[in-house]
Chains A and B, each alone.
Chain A
Amino acid sequence: MDIESGLLYGFSIALQPGHLALVFAGCLLGTLVGVIPGIGPVGAISILLPLTFQLPAAGAIIMLAGIYYGVMYGGSTTSILVNVPGETASVVTCLDGYQMARQGRAGPALGIAAFGSFIAGTVGLLGLQLIAEPLSSVALKFGPPEYFAIILLGFTFVPYLAPGSSLKAGIMALCGLILSCVGLDPITSEQRMTFGALHLFEGIGVAPLAMGLFGVAEVLNRLEGASFGKILRVKVSSLFPGRADWLRARWAILRGTLIGFFLGVLPGGGPVLATFLSYGVEKRVAREPERFGRGAIEGVAAPEAANNAAASASFIPLFTLGIPPNVVLAVLFGAFLIHGIQPGPLLIRDHPEIFWGVVGSMYIGNAMLLVLNLPLIPLWVQVLRIPDRVLYPLILLFCAVGAYSIHNSVFDIGVMVVFGVIGFFLKRGGYEAAPLILAFVLGPMLEVNLRRSLLISGGDFSIFFTRPIALGAMIGCFLALALVLLRTKKGA
C-alpha cells in the first residue's frame, strides 16, 4: 500500500464515529490525567489501560495513542500555571512558561505550547508515515543477531540518557532484566524464579508493574506531604500569541521539531532528552540568552515542539522493529500484546488497519487537542484545584481495579501494591523506575535473540561483529558505554 492510499485508508478508519469518539476520549482523559502533576504518561497509560480492554484492538490502540499525546499536552498546562511539571518532558517548559504566566502572559504561553505541539506533532507524523514502511521492509531482513544488537544498543543508551545517576539507571535496567526472566523460560519452558507460584508462570505483568512503580509509588510519595506548587490566579484571556511572539517562536518550533524527531527515534531517547536539548540549543543560538528563564517564548515553544515531535517519532521503532525506544512506548508495547497484536516489521502488512488507523487518528487527535483543549484550559485549572485528599484515594482505587481487570485476579493487585512499595523506596533512594520498565519489556526480546544467535553461530560471539547492521549497533553500544564513563568522570 503506498503512502497516499495508506493515509486515506487510515483516515477512513479513524473517522468512523466509534474511533472518532475514542480519539476524543483518549485526548480528553490523557489531558485530564496529564494535568495532574507526578502521574506522567506511563502512569496515565497504565491507569487508563483497563478502559480499553473491552475494545477491539484497533480502537484500543487508537485510544491509547490519544491518551499518550493528551498527557504530553496536559503536562505543559501544569508547568506553565503551577510551575510543577505534569510529566518529566515538561520540566523545561516550567522555566520560561511559569515566568510568562507570572508576567500576565499565561495565554500566549499556553497558546504557543499548543500551536508548537500541533505543528511538531504533525511534522512528526509525516516523518512516521514516510519512514515506517521502508524501514519495515528492511527490518524483515533482520535476523536474531541484528535484533539483539539493536536491543542491546537501547539498553546501553539507558544509563547515558537517564536523568540523574548513570550507575543507578544501570542498576535499575539490570533489575528490569532480571524481573523479565521471572516465569517460564521462553525456549525450554522451565520455571525461573517463580517460587512455585502458579500466577508467576506467565511472568510479572507489565501493567501492574507500571501501575505500582508509577501510580501507587507516586501517590505514596505525595501522601508524605510533597505538595504541588501554588496555582497562579491568572486570567487566561487571549490564547493566541501575537505577531511578535510568532516571529520569535517560529524558528524555535522548527528547531525543536527536528531535534525531537531525531531523538524520538533513538533507542532510550524520547521526549525528555529532546526537550532539554532543544532548550539548550535555543539558549545558545539566541541573541539575548539572558532572556531565558525570565519568560522567553522560545523557551516554551522549542521544548514543547521537541516533546511532541519526539512522541510521534518514537512510534517508528515500535511499529517497524517491534522495539519500544522509551518507557512510555514500552508500556504501550505491553498494551499491544494484551490486545493480541505483535508490533514489528509485519505489523503494517498484517494489521494495516492498526498502523494506518493510528496514524490517521494521530492527525485527528493533534487537531482535536488544539481545537478542543485550548477552550478547556479553565477546566484543567479546576482539575488542579481538586484537593489531594480526594484525588489520591481515587487514583489508588483506579489503579487497584485496573490491575484486577487485566486477568480478573487479585494477585495482580498484590503485585501492584508490592511494586508500589518498592517504587516508593526507589524514589526515596534516588532511583528512577523508568529504566527498569524499559528493560523489563525489552528483556524477553533480548534473551530470545541472544540465545537464538548463539544457537545459529554454534556459540561464536563474533556473529554480532560480522554482520553489518549488528556491527553498527555494537559500535553504538561501545560508544554509549564510553559516553557513560566520560560523563561519570566529568561528574566526579
Chain B
Amino acid sequence: MDTRDSWSGAIWAGMAVFVTASAVRLGIGTPSDPGPGFLPLGSGLALGLLAVILPVARGLGRNGAAPGEERPSLLPGRSAVAAVLALSLYCWILPVLGYLVATTGLMLALFALGRMKSRTVVSGSLLAALLSYVLFHHVLKVPLPRGILDF
C-alpha cells in the first residue's frame, strides 16, 4: 500500500499546527482590526483541515490518483542527492573562493554525474564557468563575488 499521502498529510498537519501557533503568537486582532496573524490563522486552519482529509480521500480514490496506481519512488537517487549537495556546497564556497573557482568546481561535480570522459568534464567545466562569467559579469553587469583569490 502506498502510504505517501498519509505521510504528506502528517507533514501538512505539522505545518498547519506551526502556522496556527505562529498566527496566535503574532496576534489575530479583531474582525474590525485584523492583526498580522489574521490571514495565517485562516490559512493554517484550512491547511489542517485538508491535511486530515487527504489520507481519507486517498482511500476513497478522490485525490486524483487511483488506489494502487504505480507512482515513482519518493526517495531521491544518488544523482539527485549529489546534485543537491554540489549546489549546497556551492552556496558556501561561492563568497569565499569567488565565482570562477567555485563555478568551475560546481560544474566539475555536475558534469561528473553524467559519466563523461575526465578531459571533457574538465574542459566543459572551465568553458561553462568562463562563458557564464563573460555573460553575467561583462554583458549583464552582475557583480559576481570575487572571493579571496580576487577573481
Q: Which of A51, A164, A392, A413 contacts B110 (CB 8 A)?
A: A392
Name the residue on A nearest B79 (C-beta). Answer: A223
- CB of A400 within 8 A of CB of B140, answer no
Inter-chain contacts of B64 with A (CB < 8 A):
164-168, 430, 491
**CB distance B106 to A397 under 8 Å?**
yes
Interface members, chain B 50-84 (any A CB < 8 Å):
50-51, 53-54, 57, 60-65, 71-74, 76-77, 79-80, 83-84
- The answer to whether A428 and B106 touch across the interface, beta carbons within 8 angstroms, is no
A401 engages B132 (CB within 8 Å): yes
B119 within 8 A of partner (CB): no
Which of B5, B40, B64, B145 has the largest count of A CB atoms less than 10 A from its CB? Answer: B64
**Interface residue from A54, A167, A181, A429 paired with B50 (Cβ < 8 Å):** A167
Q: Is the CB of B77 within 8 A of A223?
A: yes
A170 and B54 CA atoms in complex are apart in Å by 11
**Residue A481 interfacial (CB < 8 Å):** no
**A405:B83 contact, CB within 8 angstroms:** no
Q: What per-residue 1/0 map shows which CB atoms of A412-453 lie under 8 Å from chain B?
A: 011001001100110011110000000000010011001100
A277 within 8 A of B: no
> A-B pairs with CB below 8 Å: how many?
198
B140–A425 contact, CB under 8 A? Answer: no
A128 to B61, CA, bound (A): 41
Contacts of B71 in A (CB 8 A): 428, 430
Q: A450 and B61 in contact (CB under 8 A), knowing A178-B44, A387-B114, A408-B142?
A: no
Interface string of A31-58 (1 = CB under 8 A from B): 0000000000000000000110110000
A492 CB within 8 Å of chain B: yes
Given contacts A220-B84, A421-B84, contact A50 B136 (CB under 8 A): yes
Q: In the docked arrangement, what's the CA distance between A460 and B34, Å?
A: 12
Cβ of A231 within 8 Å of any chain B Cβ, yes or no, is no
A134 an interface residue at 8 Å Cβ cutoff? no
User: With A387-B114, A405-B136 as given contacts, are A220 and B39 in contact (CB-CB < 8 Å)?
Assistant: no
Of the candidates A390, A397, A446, the one having the most CB atoms from chain B within 10 angstroms of its own CB is A397
Report yes or no: B74 in contact with A224, Cβ–Cβ below 8 A.
Answer: no
Which residues in A have their C-beta under 8 angstroms from that of B94?
A: 404, 410, 413
B33 within 8 A of A: yes
- Chain B residues whose CB sits within 8 angstroms of the CB of A219 once the complex forms: 83
Q: Is the CB of A165 within 8 A of B63?
A: yes
Bound complex: CA A460 to CA B30 (Å): 11
Distance between Cα atoms of A389 and B115 in the complex (Å): 8
Asked whether B124 is an interface residue with its Cβ less than 8 Å from the other chain, the reply is yes
Expressed in whole angstroms, the Cα–Cα distance for A59 and B79 within the complex equals: 39
Q: Is the interface of B mostly helix, strand, loop or mixed?
A: helix
Q: Mark B88-119, 1 if CB is under 8 A from A, else 0.
A: 10110011000000010011001101111000
Contacts of B91 in A (CB 8 A): 410, 413-414, 417
B68 to chain A, nearest CB (A): 14
Q: Which of B34, B37, B65, B88 has the most chain A CB within a 10 Å cutoff?
A: B34
Knowing A174-B47, A428-B71, A447-B39 are in contact, say whether A488-B62 is a contact too (CB < 8 A). Answer: yes
Closest residue on chain A to residue B74 by CB atoms? A428
CB–CB B103/A397 < 8 A = yes
Name the residue in A168, A223, A390, A424 with the highest tally of chain B Cβ atoms < 10 Å from its Cβ: A223
Q: Verify A192–B22 contact, CB threshold 8 A.
A: yes
Q: Report how far A491 CA is from B65 CA in the complex, Å.
A: 10
> Whose C-beta in chain A lies nearest to the C-beta of B110?
A393
Q: B50 to A174, Cβ gap below 8 A?
A: yes
Set of chain A residues within 8 Å of B15, measured between Cβ atoms = 175, 178
User: B48: shortest Cβ distance to chain A, in Å?
Assistant: 10
Query: With contacts A53-B142, A393-B128, A413-B90 known, is A430 near B65, CB below 8 A?
Result: yes
Within 8 A of B (CB), among A458-489: 458-461, 488
A193 contacts chain B at the CB level, 8 A cutoff: yes
Which residue of B72, B77, B95 has the most chain A CB atoms within 10 A of its CB atom? B72
Q: Which residues of A, 131-148, contact B by the 8 Å Cβ criterion?
A: none
Q: Is the CB of B76 within 8 A of A424?
A: yes
Which residue numbers of B lie inside 8 Å of A, CB to CB? 4-5, 8, 12, 15, 19, 22, 26-27, 30-40, 43-44, 46-47, 50-51, 53-54, 57, 60-65, 71-74, 76-77, 79-80, 83-84, 87-88, 90-91, 94-95, 103, 106-107, 110-111, 113-116, 124, 128, 132, 136, 140-145
List 27 A-B residue pairs with CB atoms under 8 Å apart, sorted by A's residue number: A50-B142, A53-B140, A165-B64, A167-B57, A174-B46, A175-B15, A178-B15, A178-B44, A188-B35, A192-B26, A192-B40, A193-B22, A224-B79, A388-B114, A389-B114, A393-B114, A401-B144, A404-B144, A405-B136, A410-B95, A421-B84, A430-B65, A454-B34, A458-B32, A461-B31, A488-B57, A491-B64
Which 9 A-B pairs have CB atoms at the shortest separation, nearest pair first?
A389-B114, A165-B64, A459-B31, A459-B32, A393-B110, A185-B36, A164-B64, A223-B79, A165-B63
**Which residues of A does B touch, CB under 8 Å?**
50-51, 53-54, 164-168, 170-171, 174-175, 177-178, 181, 185, 187-188, 190, 192-193, 216, 219-221, 223-226, 387-390, 392-394, 396-398, 400-401, 404-405, 408, 410, 413-414, 417, 420-421, 424-425, 428-431, 443, 446-447, 450-451, 454-455, 457-461, 488, 491-492
